Structure 1
């Protein structure tokens, strides 16, 4: 409805009424007012599908929130196992891995051969592959297979016994020298402790230890029952030999010499009495391979097995053993033939 506005003109006393229409804005059809029922239905559907049920927490059990810092998460219920299972049964925890590595290392240590045994075997094989080969080659110049076999066996037995006794006596002398040095060290500890203290300082001097550490070490060692062993090992550079060292050395050298010398003698068992030179040629072929293999292995044990440098040095060691063995065999054969032709 239009509202009437009453105004007074200047010339008329009667008020004049002016009518002004009131404009009402119409809402577009899309903006029609929602009814309360529709709004409640939407809210209900929203709560039904998107709401989460929460259990109210009493006020006395609730924790106060700290402004500016997030709450520390509780990791006690989080599993420490890997997300993906491992197909390798050896991949367990760190403790089991360390234990397995230790067991493997101990297993490898169990199969390790003593360096002194390897040294004795090398001495026996080097002499056994060279001396009997030279002797059998020299005896083959006589033209009789039985002479080569009998002479070769006699040399093998005598050489093995001689080499074994040499190893036994050498090990006994080493043990006697150790005992004498140990007795002298014990006597020096009782009679001149200052000399031993000076020796200990000399042992630790290359390591540039602090003075306090050096004093503590020397003080501890002077009152330790292991002082004699320490001085013998680090001052004199000798360790106590095993009680079975002499017997082990004798057997190792003797057996290595015997089996090494048996190789050049074996072909003569398979030829006739008058076919001595056929046995000699077969023996030479066998010994060339044996000497080369022995020289190669002996060199690679020292320098290693991997790399081109190790292969070259191993081949050089093998060729060197072949040259030495061939020279010894050639010299023995030439001398025997010279004596035989000269009627000596």
Structure 2
């Protein structure tokens, strides 16, 4: 009996893509609002204060979180539909042209290091199980993985949750103090902490280098933050 995914992988590892994708976008989305207001120099913008940052920030946060969650759900459903359609066509080819399909799988196996004899033998054995052979050919031909272990609804929930959980962090200083340069500096620090935490989560899940996991996450988020601030300064200045 095949173990459940949660037995084979921790929850963080299982949904790492959704957590990193949603978390990074959430941080950047809300900091873009903060940086836009801080970068603007128009008198009207400056007088609006922390309430405007919170209203616009939270509105963007939840609107984009819902959009991201639903987008993850729809893309997962589309992936399942694509896989099912491609698999049906491939199964038909396996029934009508078994020798041609065995030769195709043999070529793939040889390209991956098998000797010609072993590749032909493996293809002959696999051809007795068309479902497994179709999975391999879909993976080798089109890069499609079996989607049965993926639940689009759960993936969407994880994307939404990560987006909100990480995205609210840059707004926390504006919940505690009036909007001024010191509050913006605290928001910058909070954003850096959030990106670092996301990088550490990625490092813990993947086991890759600490510097790479954290550095890449902070760098990508930091570039987006600088662009947001620059646009705010250009438009409001």
For residues 61-113 of structure 1, what are the alpha-carbon distances to aligned partners after superposition, in whole Å with 9 as ceiling and x for unaligned? xxxxxxxxxxxxxxxxxxxxxxxxxxxxxxxxxxxxxxxxxxxxx9x954534
The corresponding residue for 1:176 is 81
2:36 matches 1:131? no
2:237 matches 1:330? no
Which of 18, 27, 34 lines up with 1:120 in the alignment? 18
2:185 matches 1:276? no
The corresponding residue for 1:145 is 50
Give SS of 1:162's match. Answer: helix
Check the 8 A contact 1:163/1:254 in 2, yes or no: yes
TM-score by structure 2 length?
0.78
Check the 8 A contact 2:94/2:130 in 1, yes or no: no
| Cα root mean square deviation, aligned | 3.1
Check the 8 A contact 1:123/1:253 in 2, yes or no: yes
The corresponding residue for 1:260 is 166
Describe how 1:1-344 pairs up with structure 2 within 5 A. Answer: 110-113=8-11, 117-139=15-37, 141-143=45-47, 144-206=49-111, 207-209=113-115, 211=117, 213-226=118-131, 227-242=133-148, 245-271=151-177, 275-277=178-180, 278-295=182-199, 298=202, 304-305=208-209, 310-311=210-211, 313-314=212-213, 316-317=215-216, 320-321=219-220, 323-335=222-234, 337-338=236-237
Check the 8 A contact 1:199/1:235 in 2, yes or no: no
Q: 1:316 offset after TM fit, Å?
A: 3.8
TM-score by structure 1 length?
0.56
Give SS of 2:168's match. Answer: helix
Aligned residue pair count: 223
Check the 8 A contact 2:62/2:164 in 1, yes or no: yes
Check the 8 A contact 1:263/1:286 in 2, yes or no: yes
| Shift in alpha-carbon separation, 1:325–1:230, aligned structure 2, 3 A | closer
| Shift in alpha-carbon separation, 1:179–1:286, aligned structure 2, 3 A | same
Q: 1:220 offset after TM fit, Å?
A: 2.8
Q: 1:154 offset after TM fit, Å?
A: 0.9
For residues 36-82 of structure 1, what are the alpha-carbon distances to aligned partners after superposition, in whole Å with 9 as ceiling and x for unaligned? xxxxxxxxxxxxxxxxxxxxxxxxxxxxxxxxxxxxxxxxxxxxxxx
Q: 1:138 offset after TM fit, Å?
A: 2.4
Give SS of 1:239's match. Answer: coil
Q: Determine the C-alpha separation between the residues in 1 that align with 2:95 and 2:32.
A: 57
Q: Determine the C-alpha separation between the residues in 2 that align with 1:314 and 1:197.
A: 41
